[in-house]
Amino acid sequence: MKFKQVNSTFIFSSIVFTAFFFFPQNAFAVCPVCTVAIGAGVGLSRYFGIDDVITGLWIGAFIVASALWLFNFLKAKSINFPYLKMLLLFLMFLVSVVPLYFGNFLNHPFNQIFGVDKIIFGISVGVVLFFISQKIDGSLRAKNNFKVYFPYQKVVIPLTILFVVSVFLYFFL
């Protein structure tokens, strides 16, 4: 019982620390409200029994969205140095995955796909898809004189891609 209390306390402390650290004064391109919504969705997916690959997909998107949000925040505060995005991506990965590890969500022998933990596999796919969606958005803007084709394009593109891949994985896993 005490071990579960420690894990719950650690997870709760991580969430509280993350929440206090990421609440902004202004809205940014990838806003913390969106990242918190993705995080809540991940928790609900476990509750409703959605496959861990799909859950991991959204965790991966959460990691990249959080890293990009923090990068924009630091850049606005004139804090910028080489490899800052990579460092932030790595830190967001740790902030997201370490609580999953200590919460015993990872490394179950019957929860694997292609020999990799389903959550880790999903995270990898989610990170790649989110970066691809950012490239698609940038490409569309470049073709349109750096203007969006439709409102909330930067949000709609990644969410659409993640949703379509989630539905695909749901039916084919």
What pLDDT does residue 32 have? 58
Q: Number of helices (H) and strands (E) in the chain: give both, helices first.
A: 6, 2
How many domains does one find in the chain?
1
Three-state DSSP at 73 gives helix
What pLDDT does residue 29 have? 46
What pLDDT does residue 47 have? 82
Length of the chain counted residue by residue: 173
Residues paired with residue 116 on neighbouring β-strands, in sequence order: 113
What pLDDT does residue 86 have? 93
Question: In this structure, are residues 35 and 65 in contact, taking their beta carbons and an 8 Å threshold?
Answer: yes
What pLDDT does residue 111 have? 85
What pLDDT does residue 24 have? 44
What pLDDT does residue 20 have? 47
Q: What is the mean pLDDT of each run of 10 residues along the chain (173 residues)?
A: 46 52 46 58 75 91 90 92 92 86 81 90 94 94 94 91 93 86
What pLDDT does residue 27 have? 40
> By residue range, what is the domain housing residue 112?
2-172
Q: In one letter, which amino acid is 138?
A: G
